[in-house]
Amino acid sequence: DQLRRIQIRETILSHIERERQLFAKGVKVLSLFFIDEVAKYKQYDASGNAQGGTYAEIFEEEYKAIVGSMQLALTDTTEYLAYLDGIEVDRTHAGYFSIDKKSGRIVDSKLGDKKERTSDDADAYDLIMKDKERLLDRREPVRFIFSHSALREGWDNPNVFQICTLKQSGSDIRKRQEVGRGLRLAVNQGGERMDETLLSREEVHNINVLTVIANESYDSFARGLQSEIAEAVADRPRKVEAKLFIEKFGEDTALVIYESLIQNGYVKRGELTEKYYEDKKNGTIEVPEEAADHVTEVIAVLDSVYDPNANKPENARKNTVEVTLDKGKLDSKAFRELWSRINHKSYYVVGFDEDELVEKAIKELNAKLRVSKIYFKVETGEQAKYIDSKEQLESGEAFVRKDMIREEAPAFMTMKASSSVHYDLVGKIVAETGLTRKAVTKILVGLEKIIFDQFGGNPEEFIIRASNIINEQKATAIIEHITYNKLTAAFGTDIFTEPDLKKGSLGVNAV
């Protein structure tokens, strides 16, 4: 959650800065968050009432802290500050998600399922998907939108200046698709586009800038995005034709190669056949004499053609094997003797002295609990103003790194008293260890100050490491006091012949 908090904080900071710059021009700034799980934005209690999830809580905490501590030059931003003061934090963000028809609750969206109604309520849906003018009106407080996916086709609202990816871009939602939501020319309160009819070319470029707060390194994000753009602009052939080979082999040889592909059953109606993919896999591709020394080049050309078999799901039944029971070994005297020693059912009882455990846990924590400080690195870069070629994208030269900042995260214990960030330290350790609150409190009170103060620097790691050490001491205490009691009942050999044990998957649970 610390990394997600930093991303959300950076998005809000970027949003505020952009909003200040464009306020006088009448441009309303929007920010998009793509999240990995709906429950992290909105949850339901036992009575079915909706309440904010982790991301919603973090957003409101960070937004309040940032707006509350802004040191702005009042001489030129009084009107903007008044605008901020008029917006309530819980009304400035909204969610766009799918709704389960049966329960009426928002759920993780399924791509391609256009039958589902979307959004956490009708107002949010109408605002985000239908009422573009209202969303872009400053009188509408919503400025930050949370979505589980890259919003449906048809959502082409301008004025998205920040996109924060709190999830991994998978094959369903690609970087280019997410970033595409922010590649629209901005409009002002009068509905006028911020293009060269109103501004100079330089101003157009300076205003229409999209900032992406990615959950990966700058290098990784920039490389991935450029690769996807390059792939999109490439003219990838979908049909196998003789002209594909002309550049490498000349017109005559290209025709011979093409005819050979048809004769060998590799091409049918311009498409590569299963036989081609099978022979390619087995390394038995046949080519005409004229291209005998250039098999690799021929395959490279064919590989540039769209492959419908790419990422084809594996047949799970293919590796399923039937398990055969060796009845002779099961009935052998040696096995029966061994089985009679180990087949008894039993129960065990554990017990330990709580005061003794508390004392040992305190001693071990004071000796071994070490918590690392949190540092975060913020890297920024921007796309070149002009991209001259596909090669520029492929080489990774279309983006230029600008700044890199590495800072130590502020200690939780030294945050402002007004901060609403909270950790139930005792409750968390109780949940992780299974001890009583009384025992956990005794352990924490017994820690040396220098050890306990580490909690302020990294609360989450402190809880995890402290819980692990306590659990180790608890396990030792249990081992020292465990007693086994044999029952009269025993397991029979029929457990080896149950249907569930008769099938397995090669390489998983069968050899």
- Report the candidate in 224, 204, 206, 205 with the shortest Cα–Cα distance to residue 214: 224
pLDDT tens string, the chain, 511 residues long: the values are 678 888 999 999 999 989 988 998 999 999 989 888 888 888 877 776 778 889 999 999 999 988 887 755 445 567 888 899 899 999 999 887 755 445 555 555 444 444 444 444 556 667 776 778 889 999 999 999 998 765 554 456 789 898 888 875 554 445 555 565 556 789 999 888 888 788 887 788 888 888 888 776 545 666 666 666 555 555 556 688 898 888 888 888 999 999 999 999 999 888 888 898 888 888 888 988 888 888 888 888 888 775 554 433 333 345 556 667 788 888 899 998 999 888 888 888 887 889 999 999 999 999 999 988 776 667 777 777 766 666 776 676 777 766 655 555 554 433 333 344 456 889 999 999 999 999 999 999 999 999 998 888 888 889 999 999 999 999 888 888 888 888 888 888 777 766 545 556 566 566 5
Question: Residue 4 is encoded by which pair of tokens?
Answer: 């997600």
Q: How far apart, in Å, are the Cα atoms of 326 and each of 202, 329, 330, 331, 339?
A: 81, 6, 6, 9, 16
| Whole-model pTM over 0.75 | no
CA geometry: angle at 355 spanning 353 and 358, to 5°?
Answer: 110
Phi first, then psi: give them for residue 149, nearest 5 degrees: -140, 180
Per DSSP bridges, beta strands 399-408 and 375-383 are: antiparallel
Among 365, 375, 360, 373, smallest CA distance to 449 is for 365
**H helices within 190-267, ranges in order?**
201-207, 218-233, 246-249, 251-263
